Amino acid sequence: MARNTGTRPLAINGLTMALSSKDLLGIQGMPKDEIELILDTAATFKDVSERDIKKVPTLRGKTVINLFYEASTRTRTSFELAGKRLSADVINISTSTSSVVKGETLLDTALNIEAMKCDIIIVRHSCSGAPAYLSTRLKSSVINAGDGSHEHPTQALLDMFTIREKLGRLEGLTVAIVGDIEHSRVARSNIYGLSTMGAKVKVCGPPTMIPPGIERMSATACYDMDEAVEGADVIMMLRLQLERQAAGLFPGVREYARLYGLNQARVARAARNAMVMHPGPMNRGVEISSEVADHTPVILHQVTNGVAVRMAVMFLLAGASKAEA
């Protein structure tokens, strides 16, 4: 890599690298060195949130639009703070109060926003592929903030960042992801990212919620939770979407909690100092007991790290988009 060539632009030290795309649509296919670049960059942005003046002028004069077609507090706030701490102007568009209710299409809405000159559009949509569709039609950088049951790349990046921060590495770790794998974009992005980084991923949940062909995503499936958490370095719980019960994917919440809920006894089966993670919002007493939730500071560290990771992504994309042009 560039480290030993000893060259440097102007009088600035350090390595230089860039992301290969103007957009962040998913973790699938993202090379290991790009994931590492984002995680390394995030480490320095984390300091910004911890000092007295929580703002750097990096994206001064840039405009960032949060276009959310699905309810979200944590992710939207996280992106908004990340943009503001980089000095960008951040606008939130919540579709329930916008012209979307008058029947405007996704593309028309996005083109209208872009006509007002913005640099980064952050999209959350219930349809898988919506951000990818927009990215080919817009000049702005598009960041996927969760699309249907496809991917949620910044969540996986912040999860990997948090694991690396606490355990010092990703390579060689065993990560158990438990819950509704089939419908979880968080799980999908994490499986891609963790396996690229050399971790071993086990998924666990009711057979109706494990997608067929999971082996092709380099994860192993397991239907018994005690077995899944045995010796795991990281236990990643997913939120049970209660509306799935109506679809008949599991018989009852109480049964689910008994078979696939995380309690102290199950945490004890994992590796010593195992990390428990949850992307939020938590259903206490369903997929995670209150006892475990309250003894797991990591879940809030994930939220803290989310801002740093999103700052890093915006910073890198703001550079990458111009490199292509």
Partner 1 sequence: MTGLKEKALILDNAGIDRAMTRIAHEILEKNKGAKDIVLVGIQRGGVHLAKRLAIKIREIEGLEPPVGSLDITMYRDDLTTRKSQPVPQVTDITFDIQGKIMVLVDDVIYTGRTIRAALNSVMDYGRPQRIQLAVLVDRGHRELPIRADYVGKNLPTSAKEKVEVMLAEDGMEEKVVILGE
Which residues are known catalytic residues?
Answer: 74-75, 102, 124, 152
Binding residues for partner 1, rule CB under 8 A, total 37
Based on the shown chain and the rule CB under 8 A, indicate whether residue 323 belongs to the binding site for partner 1.
Answer: yes
DSSP, collapsed to helix, strand or coil, labels residue 28 as: coil
Q: Is there a contact between 258 and 224 (Cβ–Cβ < 8 Å)?
A: no
Comparing CB distances to partner 1, the nearer of 59 and 275 is 59
For the bound state, the minimum distance from the C-beta of residue 322 to partner 1, rounded and expressed in Å, comes to: 5
Distance CA 309, CA 41 (A): 8
Start-end of H helices in 211-275:
225-229, 243-246, 253-260, 264-269
Site string for partner 1, 293-322 (x = CB under 8 A): ----------------------xx-xx-xx
- Using the Cα atoms of residue 56, residue 131, residue 129 and residue 139 in order, give the sign of their dihedral: negative
Are 280 and 146 a contacting pair, CB within 8 Å?
Answer: no
C-beta of 141 vs 289, nearer to partner 1: 141
Query: Binding to partner 1 by residue 37, rule CB under 8 A?
Result: yes
Residue 95 or 321 with smaller CB distance to partner 1? 321
Q: How far is the CB of 309 from partner 1 (least distance, A)?
A: 14
CB of 41 to partner 1, least distance (A): 6
Give me the least distance between CB of 321 and partner 1, in Å please.
8
Residue span binding partner 1 (CB under 8 A) among the ranges 7-15, 125-133, 219-227, 286-294 = 7-15
> Is 56 an interacting residue with respect to partner 1 (CB under 8 A)?
yes
- The dihedrals phi and psi of 163, each to the nearest 5 degrees, come to -65, -45
Residues 6+ apart with CB under 8 A from 213: none
Amino acid at 154: T
Residue type, 132: A
Q: How far apart are CA 192 and CA 46, in angstroms?
A: 24
Among residues 22, 23, 27, 41, the one that binds partner 1 under rule CB under 8 A: 41
Between 232 and 318, name the residue whose CB sits nearer to partner 1. Answer: 318
Element (H, E) at 235: strand 234-237
Residue number, 120 or 286, with CB nearest to partner 1: 120
Check residue 50 for interaction with partner 1 (CB under 8 A). Answer: no
Q: Does 117 sit near partner 1 (CB under 8 A)?
A: no
Q: What does the alpha-carbon distance between residue 279 and residue 180 come to, in Å, rounded to a whole number?
A: 13
Nearer to partner 1, 16 or 264 (CB): 16
- Interface stretch with partner 1, choices 33-41, 139-147, 225-233, 302-310 (CB under 8 A): 33-41
What's the alpha-carbon Rg for the chain, to the nearest Å?
20
- 11 binding partner 1? (CB under 8 A): yes
Whether 312 contacts 48, CB under 8 Å? no
Q: Which residue in 130, 77, 74 sits closest to 100, CA to CA?
A: 130
CA distance 177 to 277: 9
In Å, what is the CA distance from 172 to each residue of 37, 89, 164?
A: 19, 41, 12
Which of 24, 35, 59, 309 touches partner 1 (CB under 8 A)? 59
Residues 70-109: x where in contact with partner 1 by CB under 8 A, - otherwise, as a string = ----------------x-----------------------
Q: Distance of alpha carbon 161 from its chain centroid, rounded?
A: 10
Check if the beta carbon of residue 146 is closer than 8 Å to that of residue 179.
no
Choice between 45 and 69, CB closer to partner 1 = 45
Residues that bind partner 1 (CB under 8 A): 6-18, 37, 40-41, 43-45, 47-48, 51-53, 55-59, 86, 315-316, 318-319, 321-323
